[in-house]
Structure 1
Amino acid sequence: MLKNFIVFAFCLMLFPFCGNSQGIGFNSNNNLISERTSYNVFAHNTPKFGEGFSVSFDLSVSDPLSFGYIFSVKDKNKSTSYSLSYINASDGFGKIKFNLDAVKNILSIPLDTVLIGSKKWVKVQLIFNSESQSITLTVNGKTFTENTYGFDASFIPEMYFGKHGSVIEVPDMAIKNLLIKNGNREYNFHLNESQGKNVHDTNGKLYGHIDNPNWLINESYHWKKRYSFSSNQVASISFDEAQQRFVIFNSDSLSFYHLRNETTQTQRFANPIPVPMRLGTSFIDTATNTLYVYEVNDVPNNKATIASANLDSLIWVAKSTLQLPTQRHHHNFYLDSDKDEFLIFGGFGNQRLTNNFDVYNFNSNTWKSLVFSGDTITPRYFSGLTQINKDELLIFGGLGNKTGDQSIGKTYYYDCYKVNLNTKIIIKLWNVKRDTIKMVTSRSLVVTNDTSAFYTLGYPEYIANTHLQLYEYTIAKGTYRVLGDSIPMISERIRTNANLYFNKETNELFCTTQEFELDGSNRISIYSINAPPVSKETINDHLSKANTFNYFLWGIILGVLLLFALVYAFIKYRKRKKKALEIQIENTLILDEENTKTIKPMNSVSLFGNFSVADRKGKDITYLFSPKIRQLFLLLLFNSYREDYPGVSSESIYSKLWPDSPVQKAKNLKNVTISQLRKILNAVNGLEVIYTHGRFFIEFNEGFHCDYFKVLDQLNLLKKDIVNNEALIELTQLTKSGGFLKSIDDECFDQIKKDYEFQTLKLIPNHIKRLYKNKNYAAVIPVTKILFNIYSLNEVAFYYKLHALLKMGLKDKAKSHFNYFIIDYKKMMGDDFTYTFNEVSKRIPKGLIRN
């Protein structure tokens, strides 16, 4: 009984969403009969028609070969019934048939198959004229009339879309913008609910009921993964809008992913690509059906840097062997087909950032740099670019600094510039202050249909397990909105990238991601979302739109929830009596109260939390390490702790510590710093700076302790033994002081950080999952801290810690954990976390841990 009561309360909570028009997708004959969609328009509030009426709606038939009933209208008290059906295509045409049911076909209207397909809409209108005793059907602007009106002057209508009664054939279709008129009365249905079976009009009044709905608004919020491709070689992807396909290729073969029919086609090139693919940058000239691949640097002399292949013949032709002086990771690209040239802006390579605009011309086979006046765009990479009119480009955001020198640090930009290629003038439009946010943007921007704003994908590129989030910025002022849910992406290597495209034919945004692994293999994924995309607030906006009569239902719901809360608390109280759970709770509470301050052992270096060094007496001598001494010490430390690490050459020290100093000056600075470091390390047993065979390294003995070395040992043990709880406990103790190199922001150690994070993120989530599955909830809590120390918004750690606390009945601590998380989320992302405590408490999301 209690279970049924709770289900009833949950069903009452499924109120509709009211906002911009979206629609309903119907489960068709491809589904079981019980799963097909049935929409009763006036199930809850049936009007009485006193004169003629009209019904209009937008219709999309996804599959031209499907068959079934679109719409039916009947006199409730008589047998008179009319229906609209779709008949599958033949000879390039489908048919929409209007019938007097069980009597005759009244109208049969051909529908060209170019109007049929997913995301293609045609307008349908039926006018039942009681005065002229006629019925008029308009489909896609073509009108047909017949004098076969069969309803009484006054009748009660029954209107259905899809399955109803004995009618079970449903075509593969969707509808939106339903409008019914009867005299002066209008019944307007935007069909923009996001959940549930009730259908309200635009005023929030309940009218209809629908079984097995597919609310299309959800396709404007949730990204859908469409296709994935993996390659052991560097691969590339380009969008061919003219042919409605994505082109994915590597050095020897090519795959077409066709959007119209969701199929793939793989072919081999007629000859190998003459360009050695490093970054895999490519584009398609749709005017000539030609695929281009290019590299700007890091190509052997006399090897092609630009090549093209006709997508029909698949024959590669080398176009150029010219190179730019440096590599240009994450540059921006613009193709000018009229001038037979393309432009690139910005990028990173050889430890330098650039703000150059470089143009390659196919006719003259030359590169040239453009010179602009007006505002200056600082050197950067990871920015976004789009064309806004014939002569102007828009550039947004990026990562860089004023000098272009990578070693002095980086700034995350949220500024926007208009670049006029004709007048050669740059105008800065705005700069959004997001000081606590560290996020780069996708390579390409997409301008909205009304040209007032643009879409971009932002993501923290420095986080290994990162996520992409769609943003909309207004071009005039830079105000922004967060749209849609997020897309997971692994950002381990500099070549990992994301792009954003808009498909006019299907009115969809597409995101492509390319994730590179340590060994150079890569995976390309394609995602889509309906345009215009919507926010989480829009999805939930139905709560403010509900009609006043729903308040009574909310009273019932609150009463039910109160009862449910009491029962839930009682159940938890009983469970809390169980000894095993009591022990776990006690351990968790003790752990919560423990002082996290760690006593540093003698002769030790601590790299987790704040950098610190203790001498042979246990005295903290961290203050002796100036930034340069510390940088040199860590450089030697990381290149000496394994036998296969050969130490560091003088040249490498110069380039890392004093890249802009003349060689002789850098040599003198190195000698002084080495001398100071040796003097400091005399106070630590087990550490000595050695110079041999032209390289510096640090020699260790057993008296020296380094938490990082011990952490690596424990990670190696966990690799070999999935149930090594002793290693896991040791790991939590070693890392509880904080993140690895938390206080160190030198870019020369970024790869060390990433390697540690990669190993940890690959191992620890599975151990957390194992502990949780084995109901060892107390052990889950400290292990999640390892992930939080890497990234405070780690979703695996967040969900498993929250649910472990809930399993132990510590709801207040779970709420506290949730509140701390959403505060951090706001600080780091600049936006509110999209889910409530109740939503994240329901379940741990599937697919959270990638094996």
Structure 2
Amino acid sequence: MFIICFADADHIDGLLFNSIYDVSKEYKEVTSLKIPSDNVISFKNNIRLEFDIFLWKKNPFGFIVSAGNDTDPHVFVLSYSDYKSKDTSYIELTYKDRPSIISIPVLDKDQGWRKWKKVVLYFEIENQRIGLSFDDQNIIWYKEKTPIPNKMQFHFGGTSFVVEPPRMAIKKIIFNRDNNETISWPLDENNGAIVHSNYDNGNSWDGSVTNGTWIKELHTRWNKIHTQRIYKNKFKFIGNDIENNYVIYLLGDSLYHYDINKKEISEVFPFSYLPNDNYLYHYNPITKKVFAMHGGGGSRISSYNKKTNSWDNFMDNFESDGLYYTSNILHNYQNGDTYSLGGYGWYEQKNILQKYNDQSFKWDKTKYKIKNGENFFPRCKSSLVFDQETGNYYLYGGQGNESGKQQQGFRRLNDLWLIDINNLEFNQLWIDSTQIVEDYKSNFQKIALSSKHKTIFKILSDNRDNENLNLYVNNTTKMAVSSFESRNFEYFDVQLSSNINEMNNVNIVHFESLDFRDELLIVVLNKKEDKDYLEFYTIHLPIIRLTNYEKNYARFIIIAIILLAVCGFFFNKNQNYVEESPHPIDLINNKKTQHIDISQYILDKGITISLLNGFKIWKNGNLLDSKEWKSAKARELFIYIVINGINGVSINKIHDLFWPNVNLESARNSRAVAISRIRKIIAPYEYLLISDNEKIKFINDKELFIDFRNMIKILERPFTIESKSLDDPIMIYGKDGLLPNMNLNWVKSFRLELYNKINRYAKEYGEVLILNKNWDKLEWIGNQMLYWNEFDDFGMRYVVFANKMNKKEAMSFKIYNDFSENYTTKMKEKYSIPYKNIIDFNIKESL
């Protein structure tokens, strides 16, 4: 189990593949994934494989996926070629001895981190053809009487004779066999070498990973991205070039541009420091120049010329009055003005805003308005971040007090401000609630603000380099995190390295949020074997922290595997049975399931759509009669577009699904008629239905509520015990699940996917309840799971164990006995786990 620290946990699933160029001390092998690990997937007539992929770096060449069997280990290979064009790569399909039977171009702009694209492969025995589709484009078919085996094992990242993947990530692997049965591997794990499938008829469907990196891992720990041997500890962070993805810093007598995307030093320039050590170096993101100014304030702004390795406008004999040390620098992105805010000098903090005059080379005091709040306290050393979307700054805390006088005692402020630098307005979001800090040597911190995620991050330490104010930490960074809205800091640890001896008393010299990458960055100085190194570490946002429950859950899995081996039986239900009966009745104790009524979400103005427990649609609060549709096809198409989410569905896919056996012109006409009918039904809200880039979408809007989308959003967040109501997802799902009265094949895949998500949520919730010894709620959870599937093994265990712990031993045994007898009657085999094993197992987990 894991807990998200802020925001939604979008785009955190998937497996990252290391290429041959990524092999190092950390990654000793390249990545491969076999599905299933020790089996083949068989089918009668056809099979469709689809998965999501992003190519996070253009090189090198590699094998995306291949398949074969014992008889023919080389059925097909889907490869990635990067070398044929400067701005385009290619995905190419080779079948047996026929190279590149299908080749699809992939532009460089469509490659990159989290630029997910869908790949679909079609194998049709009856038609003897193979198809390939990329990014929901038209299917390209190869039809040269292609014999296709009906049994294959799939190898991502390699072939039967070599493992050589490109730099890619994979998630949501789905197989559809014979247009009926769906098996999926979400790749939503956060550790381990096993890839779990949704097909619960035993472990033989699980896949195996070699040397992979789970994307969730990148959200749970610091990941080293750069190591540089250094000979002088003179590091200075300068700034970020967002357009080029550069982190700019000084080290020794050189200026470095580090490409955070390519994870390599892109450019190095010789750098001449100014003769006055009191000058500080900054980066102007507007002019894209390094500039310097005296730390005490009042000096000219001198710009660095990289070509000549010299400074413009530097005045050698300048003497500062020393009033504005450690002030903050702000830039007006509209007109290029530069401001200085606050600062310390002569025993006094300031709250003065100064604007630099590039004609007179002076700093002019500038008035600003306090729009919300009473007073902007005098301060220095504040944390500041620019919001690219709004053009405003966020400023947090700093060192100061109400008067600015040192004799009053300075303290670490914790107020938060929104600064509109264009209109010179200060808006207070948090008031200061601190007291005077008597021992300022304890609990030192470095702070980073994320304007994109509206979050404050702190790294805490009890040890500091007093000369440079850098933090010392060992293998773990202690962190505090709060959103701008909640003002509620959570405290937790994030690991720096799996090797404890490698990170002993390292020096954190810089910490910031890279919003353009959705990452946090720390820069550390580390000594290893008497050699000094500069190291960059990142952690992806949103941060996920593992709880103690993760360890318990891992132990739970290990014990469960032992029990399975002893009993020789796979616990879980048969997947086909779930599809045929998605909402079985409760055979245990006749308690009714609880369900959140959709009526509380119905909009007085707008469209409300319910897909859970049956399809219904309201317009301006009025339920529409099903007869108004007039066309069943239009109604089904509407549901299909809605259920595919905000990304929409391609027009070609709609044609293939709804009008598969007609020519293209007829399909277009039929689609146009159906879409016209849909628009009439939802008018005047037809603007919600759009056609964009050969896709049809039902967009999100304040005048739209869809219970299915709301449910998916909840379940895609990592399970967290801090949620306001852990019962809500289960109650929203209700008894009948997704579209129970629609038996179309495409509905079944969505229904099964949602069932798997809510079932996994319920399992995680149940384990937390066992740890917390909440037996009544555990019984309720178990009952809900048995409503969804009468053979849900975890549901039965939870109900049985909850009654046992509530000292209802007779009821506990009766429930187990009824479940066992029902299983034997319908599944035609004996339920082989004894009652005592279930009780003993759960008792161990609750201790």
With the length of structure 2 as denominator, give the TM-score of the two structures: 0.52
Unaligned segments of structure 2, at least 5 residues: 1-8, 466-470, 497-502, 527-531, 567-847
Query: Residue 278 of structure 2: SS of its match in structure 1?
Result: coil
CA distance in 2, matches of 1:491, 1:197: 31
Q: Give per-residue Cα distances to partners, 1:239-265, cap 9 Å, x unaligned.
A: 222223233337964233333251364
Alpha-carbon shift at residue 507 of structure 1 (Å): 4.3
1:110 is aligned to 105
Instruction: Tell me if the contact between 1:193 and 1:542 (Cα under 8 Å) persists in the aligned partners.
Output: no
| Aligned-CA RMSD value | 4.6
Alpha-carbon shift at residue 153 of structure 1 (Å): 9.8
CA distance in 2, matches of 1:423, 1:489: 48
Alpha-carbon shift at residue 444 of structure 1 (Å): 4.8
1:610 is aligned to none
Larger Rg over CA atoms: 1
Query: Residue 455 of structure 2: SS of its match in structure 1?
Result: strand
Alpha-carbon shift at residue 100 of structure 1 (Å): 0.9
Change (3 A) 1:311 1:157: same
Q: 315, 320, 326: which is aligned to 2:322?
A: 326
After TM superposition, list the pairs within 5 Å mapping 1:500-519 onto structure 2.
Answer: 500-502=512-514, 504=516, 506-512=517-523
Alpha-carbon shift at residue 334 of structure 1 (Å): 2.4
Change (3 A) 1:22 1:315: farther
- 2:313 matches 1:356: no
Alpha-carbon shift at residue 414 of structure 1 (Å): 3.2
Query: Residue 218 of structure 2: SS of its match in structure 1?
Result: helix
CA distance in 2, matches of 1:184, 1:441: 57
Instruction: Tell me if the contact between 1:384 and 1:441 (Cα under 8 Å) persists in the aligned partners.
Output: no
CA distance in 1, matches of 2:246, 2:223: 16
Alpha-carbon shift at residue 454 of structure 1 (Å): 1.8
CA distance in 2, matches of 1:52, 1:124: 17
CA distance in 2, matches of 1:554, 1:247: 53
1:466 is aligned to 472
Alpha-carbon shift at residue 230 of structure 1 (Å): 5.7
Greater RCO, 1 or 2 (C-alpha within 8 Å, sep 6+): 2
What letter is aligned with 1:401?
A: N
1:238 is aligned to 239
Query: Residue 170 of structure 2: SS of its match in structure 1?
Result: strand
CA distance in 1, matches of 2:292, 2:273: 9
CA distance in 1, matches of 2:348, 2:41: 71
Query: Residue 89 of structure 1: SS of its match in structure 2?
Result: coil
Instruction: Tell me if the contact between 1:70 and 1:171 (Cα under 8 Å) persists in the aligned partners.
Output: yes
Query: Residue 120 of structure 2: SS of its match in structure 1?
Result: strand
Alpha-carbon shift at residue 237 of structure 1 (Å): 2.5
What letter is aligned with 1:510?
A: L
1:535 is aligned to 545
1:403 is aligned to 403
After TM superposition, list the pairs within 5 Å mapping 1:693-842 onto structure 2.
Answer: none
Instruction: Tell me if the contact between 2:305 and 2:312 (Cα under 8 Å) persists in the aligned partners.
Output: no
Q: Give per-residue Cα distances to partners, 1:603-626, cap 9 Å, x unaligned.
A: xxxxxxxxxxxxxxxxxxxxxxxx
1:849 is aligned to none
What letter is aligned with 1:531?
A: L
- 2:171 matches 1:176: yes
2:256 is aligned to 255
Query: Residue 331 of structure 2: SS of its match in structure 1?
Result: strand
1:85 is aligned to 79
Alpha-carbon shift at residue 508 of structure 1 (Å): 3.4
What letter is aligned with 1:331?
A: S
Q: Give per-residue Cα distances to partners, 1:441-465, cap 9 Å, x unaligned.
A: 64652223xx4x3242333476445
Alpha-carbon shift at residue 156 of structure 1 (Å): 3.9
2:288 is aligned to 289
What letter is aligned with 1:106?
A: I
What letter is aligned with 1:336?
A: N
Query: Residue 83 of structure 2: SS of its match in structure 1?
Result: strand
Change (3 A) 1:491 1:208: closer
Instruction: Tell me if the contact between 1:35 and 1:212 (Cα under 8 Å) persists in the aligned partners.
Output: yes
Query: Residue 70 of structure 1: SS of its match in structure 2?
Result: strand
1:22 is aligned to 13
1:446 is aligned to 450
Q: Give per-residue Cα distances to partners, 1:729-771, cap 9 Å, x unaligned.
A: xxxxxxxxxxxxxxxxxxxxxxxxxxxxxxxxxxxxxxxxxxx
After TM superposition, list the pairs within 5 Å mapping 1:304-453 onto structure 2.
Answer: 305-311=300-306, 314-318=309-313, 325-362=321-358, 365-367=361-363, 368-373=365-370, 374-375=372-373, 376-388=375-387, 389-390=389-390, 392-421=392-421, 424-430=424-430, 442=446, 444-448=448-452, 451=453, 453=454
Alpha-carbon shift at residue 145 of structure 1 (Å): 0.7
Change (3 A) 1:557 1:133: closer
- 2:50 matches 1:56: yes
1:765 is aligned to none
1:35 is aligned to 29
Q: Give per-residue Cα distances to partners, 1:336-382, cap 9 Å, x unaligned.
A: 23222223333434333333333324356442233332422333334
Query: Residue 218 of structure 1: SS of its match in structure 2?
Result: helix
CA distance in 2, matches of 1:433, 1:151: 73
Instruction: Tell me if the contact between 1:393 and 1:420 (Cα under 8 Å) persists in the aligned partners.
Output: yes
Alpha-carbon shift at residue 73 of structure 1 (Å): 3.1
The sequence identity of aligned pairs, in percent, is 19
Query: Residue 80 of structure 2: SS of its match in structure 1?
Result: strand
- 2:484 matches 1:475: yes
Q: Give per-residue Cα distances to partners, 1:669-714, cap 9 Å, x unaligned.
A: xxxxxxxxxxxxxxxxxxxxxxxxxxxxxxxxxxxxxxxxxxxxxx
Q: Give per-residue Cα distances to partners, 1:263-289, cap 9 Å, x unaligned.
A: 3643325xx55573426330133x443
Aligned residues: 521
CA distance in 2, matches of 1:331, 1:202: 56
2:216 is aligned to 217
CA distance in 1, matches of 2:384, 2:213: 35
Alpha-carbon shift at residue 113 of structure 1 (Å): 4.3
Query: Residue 313 of structure 2: SS of its match in structure 1?
Result: strand
What letter is aligned with 1:82?
A: F
Alpha-carbon shift at residue 545 of structure 1 (Å): 9.6
CA distance in 1, matches of 2:129, 2:432: 60
Query: Residue 403 of structure 1: SS of its match in structure 2?
Result: coil
Q: Which one is further off, 341-350 or 120-129?
A: 120-129
2:560 is aligned to 552
Change (3 A) 1:139 1:26: same
CA distance in 2, matches of 1:446, 1:427: 18
CA distance in 1, matches of 2:506, 2:377: 24
CA distance in 1, matches of 2:514, 2:70: 46
CA distance in 2, matches of 1:46, 1:481: 46
Instruction: Tell me if the contact between 1:69 and 1:169 (Cα under 8 Å) persists in the aligned partners.
Output: yes
Change (3 A) 1:507 1:130: farther
Instruction: Tell me if the contact between 1:19 and 1:192 (Cα under 8 Å) persists in the aligned partners.
Output: no
CA distance in 1, matches of 2:549, 2:90: 38
CA distance in 2, matches of 1:407, 1:184: 78
Change (3 A) 1:235 1:135: same
2:191 is aligned to 195
Instruction: Tell me if the contact between 2:297 and 2:321 (Cα under 8 Å) persists in the aligned partners.
Output: no
CA distance in 2, matches of 1:43, 1:232: 49
Change (3 A) 1:252 1:88: closer
Q: Give per-residue Cα distances to partners, 1:454-504, cap 9 Å, x unaligned.
A: 242333476445345554422222234457726689899xxx963413153
CA distance in 2, matches of 1:227, 1:275: 30
Instruction: Tell me if the contact between 1:351 and 1:405 (Cα under 8 Å) persists in the aligned partners.
Output: yes
Instruction: Tell me if the contact between 2:279 and 2:295 (Cα under 8 Å) persists in the aligned partners.
Output: no
Change (3 A) 1:460 1:402: farther
Query: Residue 404 of structure 2: SS of its match in structure 1?
Result: coil
Change (3 A) 1:549 1:197: closer
CA distance in 2, matches of 1:273, 1:427: 38
Alpha-carbon shift at residue 405 of structure 1 (Å): 2.9
1:840 is aligned to none
Alpha-carbon shift at residue 297 of structure 1 (Å): 1.6
Change (3 A) 1:153 1:262: closer
Change (3 A) 1:74 1:252: closer
Unaligned segments of structure 1, at least 5 residues: 1-17, 516-521, 559-851
